[in-house]
Amino acid sequence: MLQINNTPHYAGVTVAGDYQDLDELYEALHLIVGEEGELPAYDSVRIRVLGVCYDIRHAMMGGRGATAVPNGFDKERARYMPIIGPDTNIYLTFEVMWPELLFVSFSLNDFIELYEKRSNTHPWDPTIIAVRKFQGAVARCLQETLSESKYGHLKKYIRPYMNYTYGLYHNYATQYVDHLNIKFLKMKPERRLANISIMAKRLGELDHLYINARAGIMDAARDLNVPESEIRFNEEYPEDFEW
């Protein structure tokens, strides 16, 4: 079962799962976002999802981290079972920054809707269920991290069939995600914790801050006569930070 928990300094989360968990998620995310050029208006968003896939793949290759997780087969239960086995399972792990995780999780609602349409499938499709399990693990982590009132306010970004408008991330300027990642990483741990819900709000709706950022990107691209995807904010990720 996928587990998602805060990192010690709240820069992001640690995603953990056994090999089958991560393999299922890896394959599902690849299927849900489609092939390159299949959804041109979502190319930039697709790349962010594939960024998570990159980390999943490296975790599956042993290039990230690992932890031993109790599997319930403790000494007490073993006394009554005619089998012998370990009392822990090995979970492979990787980290994702909070703003990045929130953006990917929210944008997957768009990809699920588009996948259902182009594949003529249904909400019980195994690929969709695998993605929903990932979103559910994110939601569980948010619920355990935030106050009841803050989590309650965020439910409108989580519920895909109630207050959500599909197409929110159509032609989304993903440079804004980098901007929020950088801003978040520069905060002290206690401020990061206090700002998780604010990051969710910033990424869950197209507010005036996003609109202004988007306009600046469009203006710069027009002035330089380059694609919008080539424009970057004049800021850099911290070279060193504590997860």
**Could you give the percent of the chain with pLDDT greater than 70?**
92
**Cα→Cα distances 232→22, 140, 178, 183, Å:** 32, 33, 9, 15
What is residue 78's predicted lDDT score, i.e. its pLDDT? 63
| Amino acid at residue number 197 | S
**pLDDT > 90: what percent of the chain?**
77
- Tell me the whole-structure pTM to 2 decimals: 0.91
Q: Which three-class secondary structure state does DSSP give residue 68?
A: strand
Res 200: pLDDT: 95
Region 72-87 average pLDDT: 68
For residue 196, count CB atoms less than 10 angstroms from its CB and return exposed for 0-12, middle for 13-18, buried for 19 or more. Answer: buried
Any idea where the domains of the chain sit in the sequence? Answer: 3-230
